[in-house]
Amino acid sequence: MYTNFCSRHVGSVGSTREAMIKELGYERIVDLIEDAVPSNIQGGPELDLPNALSETHALNRLRGIMAKNQLLKSYIGEGYNGTIVPPVIQRNILENPGWYTAYTPYQAEISQGRLEALLNFQTMISDLTALDVANSSLLDEGTAAAEAMALAKSGNRKGTTLFIADTCHQRTIDVVQTRAEPLGIEIVVGDWKSFDPSSCEGLFAVLLQYPDTLGSVDDYSSLIEAVHAAGALAIVAADILALTVLKAPGEFGADICVGNSQRFGVPFGFGGPHAAFMACTDKLKRKMPGRLIGVSVDSQGKPGYRLALQTREQHIRRDKATSNICTAQVLLAVMASMYAVYHGPDGLKQIAGNTHFAARILAASLKKAGYELLNESYFDTIVVKTPGKADAILAAAVEKGYNLRKIDGDHVAIAADETLGCKEGQDILAAFGVEDADIPEADQKAWAEGLTRTSDFCTSPVFNSYHSETEMMRYLSRLEKKDLALNESMIALGSCTMKLNAAAEMMPLSWPNVSSIHPFVPDNQSVGYREMLDELSDWLARITGFAAVSLQPNAGSQGEYAGLLAIRRYHLANGDTDRNVCLIPTSAHGTNPASAVMVGFKVVPVTCDEAGNIDVADLKAKAEKHAENLGALMITYPSTHGVYESTIVEICETIHTHGGQVYMDGANMNAQVGLTSPGFIGADVCHLNLHKTFCIPHGGGGPGVGPIGVAEQLVPYLPGHGSLENKEAPVCSAAYGSASINTISWMYIAMMGADGLTEATKMAILNANYVAKRLSTAYPILYTGNKGLVAHECIIDIRPLSDASGITVEDVAKRLMDYGYHSPTMSWPVAGTLMIEPTESESKAELDRFCDAMLAIHAEIQAVIDGSADKQDNLLKNAPHTAEMVISDSWTHPYSREEAAYPMACQRDHKFWPSVGRIDNVHGDRNLVCSCIGMEAFAE
């Protein structure tokens, strides 16, 4: 049986598994499941999937499929450019579980490594754009532009119109149009040169591309002046590499700058994942979407990083939030920032210089041979006039192994990048029938003199210190060691499903025919990709019990958006123009109300009863009251409280009776797979978080994939894309979103099969109940369902202890770090509690170690209650304890250093040290510093 992957994926098998089942008072796991899962949702059609394959066989099968892709070099551009991933970054970040298995850095003290990397990213972006503040990534360029639209709109209540230059990337225009419609924003697409802001009624912003989609480098300064005079804002979508040599958007008046950082060392991946960026002026920073890393001080007065301005997050602002972004693209932002760290400002300028020179050689040679160019100014992209011959030239290029971009039958574009060398240049010219290259003078520029960048960027030491591979490797290792990821210990974050991300699942990402396919290659070059994606969609449709699945949404939040949009479009198509009410239980994840508002719904909250269940009477009353306008219900199942509500079927029926559609938030799908399904329960649409249930690693806060499954009636309203047959309502720039990482989930399902997936669900339920049982001796379990059982996670209540001791849930979370653990989800969905989701992948030994830590912490709290420990100066209030704190010559605390740092015997063998003491969030928010520059003030 040792070749069975499932037995490697789950943490306990055989007699250990038996022991846990017995501990819960059951003979067989089926009896436990029978009791835990309500009978009215069990059953349904048998999960029909191919037989499980071993790791070797699954890899071979996927290799065979992906071999059907054709690997050409792509100089297509349109927001995606070739790049060389520095091997030191590929091996030490992309292929390193120390980086990719980390969670979003909510527990700052054990996340300083990726927080530093993200601060570097923000510094790099704010330097390159010459804007005051940058966030730590968005999902892709199209959605970043849409977020910029919302940001600009949020400061201008009367604004109704966004002007988009017709020279923006078409995919960006498409996504912004999708996002504008439900908000009632009018989009005017036109020629920016003839656009007059003063005569455009209701104008709140303009969106421009720099350099534009056809390569041209233009001076937008007088237009932006006129835009400002009209009381509107300027959004510029910019190319990150071009910004190293071109005048920065902030220097010609842009208020917001967005773009894609992909060409800083992140492979194409057939469309993603890559990190988009956004920077804005100081005035707008408090409303900026996405996460912002800031500098603050720790308990020892030393600088430390943490997520700043968390009060902006959807969890707190809910339907008042300006954006629904939760999972972003942290791992890719880290890679892009490290590309800049490795190359430094001079290296980046050289790469940009070489890229530009390559474009100039192509331009000069083509012109000498008699071709004309559409654009006289350019950075990397030239458009060649090829009357009637575009197809023949493109075919000749393909023949030689290159993809160029077809503009129309008479124009071909070439987008140069750092991979375009001598050989590539000659081959491309040959496709145009040009034999002789013409080498122009080296240091001239194909743009107006005034648009050359004169300002410095990336001047801080971090971008100027690690340019040898040895130094770089050590810098990456140093940061990695500051972070607690899954390669250190269990991360039992409720709702986040931090399960195993198996090595075999990750390996295909490094295959060239997975990583190096441009999203807009001709269809016959992506046959393997589409076969893999179709197969995965089919499997996910079977797992969710739905008619069809779209893999386009690139995070859970985007799935919510796409699913609700499908519901909206369905109602509109039926002539139901007023079905704009969305019922959402108060226990819902913050992204739910935020997404609903973005799709134009009015959020009506539904209350929950004391047992944590949806108050069905309230739900029925609200559904009835709003029957005329009922659009949708958003519901998480099992509930965010970690219980299977047996009323779910009745709830779905109620909504349908009143004309609404049921949106299921599938973040808790790990408690359903193989046992039941959203389709079987009665939902109409559901998003999955492949980065939770289906093994894509969290990457420190992204990437993710948030596919949606839909019932038959919603199939026509799945997101389309300009490159697909269905072109309606794309929700992101690439047809298949973050295509490449779907290989991870494909591998997982292929290796588990139906039985393995079902076993995983059962083990997740067993593990959660095992932990609940062990901890219930010290902590009340807040909610339980049938027979006192929980689903795949449990909430323990810290509040009674807090009331008696003054020790807060945050103190417990910080103290867990001293024991080598990441806290479970803190104060969500209920303040003052911890939500524990162990997942199926943790072994009994690890669960026991964690429970031992939690029980020991309980004893520490009890000591405070008993008066044997000080109310303030105690193990919990002072946690976490750093090495520096415990080795200090002065130790004034009433407890010992050993109790502080080595509370468990096993830590003598191995100890994970938090790298900073407790971080002061309030101080950091009052003195907002979001780049490396200015940190000196904190170093005092």
* Helix axis angle, 469-481 to 330-368, nearest 10°: 150
Nearest CA to 497 among 708, 670, 639? 670
Binding site for ligand PLP (CB under 6 A): 326-327, 495, 555-557, 589, 591, 636, 640, 665, 667, 689, 704, 706
- Please write down the HEC assignment for all residues of 589-609: CCHHHHHHHHCCCEEEEECEC
Cα(751)–Cα(808) distance, integer angstroms: 43
**Residues 36 and 82: beta-carbon distance below 8 Å:** no
Say if residue 308 is exposed, middle or buried (CB neighbours under 10 Å; 0-12, 13-18, 19+): buried
Q: By C-beta, is 131 or 635 nearer to ligand PLP?
A: 635
Strand duo 548-550 + 405-408: pairing: unpaired
Structure tokens at 18: 């038996």
CB of 597 to ligand PLP, least distance (A): 15
Both structure tokens of 752: 């588990």
Q: Rounded to the nearest whole angstrom, what is the least distance from the CB of residue 496 to ligand PLP in the complex? A: 6
Q: Which residue is nearest to ligand PLP (CB)?
A: 556
Q: What is the DSSP letter of 158?
A: T
The smaller minimum CB distance to ligand PLP, of residues 267 and 556, is found at: 556
User: Do the beta carbons of residue 514 and residue 740 sit within 8 Å?
Assistant: yes
Least Å distance between CB 446 and ligand PLP?
A: 41
Q: How many other CB atoms are found less than 10 A from the CB of residue 777? A: 9
Rounded to whole angstroms, the Cα distance separating 343 from 336 reads: 11
CB 204 within 8 A of CB 233: yes
Nearer to ligand PLP (CB atom), residue 17 or residue 589: 589
Phi (first) and psi of residue 17, to 5 degrees: -60, -45
The pair of structure tokens assigned to 91 is 């091996």
Nearer to ligand PLP, 119 or 562 (CB): 562
* Residue 331: CB minimum distance to ligand PLP, A: 14
Our CB check for ligand PLP shows the closer of 559 and 924 to be 559
497: left (phi over 0), alpha (psi -120 to 50) or beta: left
The residue (of 593 and 756) whose beta carbon lies closer to ligand PLP is 593
For the chain, the C-alpha Rg in angstroms (whole number) is: 28
Q: How far apart are CA 93 and CA 665, in angstroms?
A: 31
**Element spanning 826, H or E:** strand 825-826
Of 12 and 738, which CB lies nearer to ligand PLP in the complex structure? Answer: 738
Report the C-alpha gap between 8 and 502 in whole angstroms: 9
**Residues paired with 608 in a beta bridge:** 614
Distance CA(454)–CA(445), nearest Å, equals 14
Tokens 């943790």 locate to 842
Closer Cβ to ligand PLP, 508 or 707, answer by number: 707
Give min distance, CB of 459 to ligand PLP, in A: 34
* Smallest separation, CB 823 to ligand PLP (Å): 16
Report the phi/psi class of residue 614: left, alpha or beta, with left for phi > 0 and alpha for psi in -120 to 50.
Answer: beta
Nearest distance in Å: CB 145, ligand PLP: 19
Taking the complex as a whole, the smallest distance from the CB of residue 536 to ligand PLP amounts, in Å, to 17
With respect to ligand PLP, which residue has the nearer C-beta, 495 or 833?
Answer: 495
Report the alpha-carbon distance of residue 833 to residue 630 in Å, rounded: 33
We find the least distance from the C-beta atom of residue 822 to ligand PLP, in angstroms, to be: 16
- Supply the minimum distance, in Å, between the C-beta of residue 814 and ligand PLP: 23
Q: Which is nearer to ligand PLP, 103 or 432 (CB)?
A: 103
Question: Structure tokens of 878?
Answer: 């002072």
The residue whose two tokens read 């200015």 is: 934
Query: Closer to ligand PLP at the Cβ: 265 or 701?
Result: 701
Nearer to ligand PLP, 591 or 878 (CB): 591
CB of 698 to ligand PLP, least distance (A): 9
Burial 547-580 (b: 16+ CB within 10 A, else e): ebbbbbbbbbbbbbbbbbbbbbbbbeeeebeebb
In whole angstroms, how close is the CB of 338 to ligand PLP at the nearest point?
23
Q: How far is the CB of 556 from ligand PLP (least distance, A)?
A: 2
Nearer to ligand PLP, 326 or 551 (CB): 326
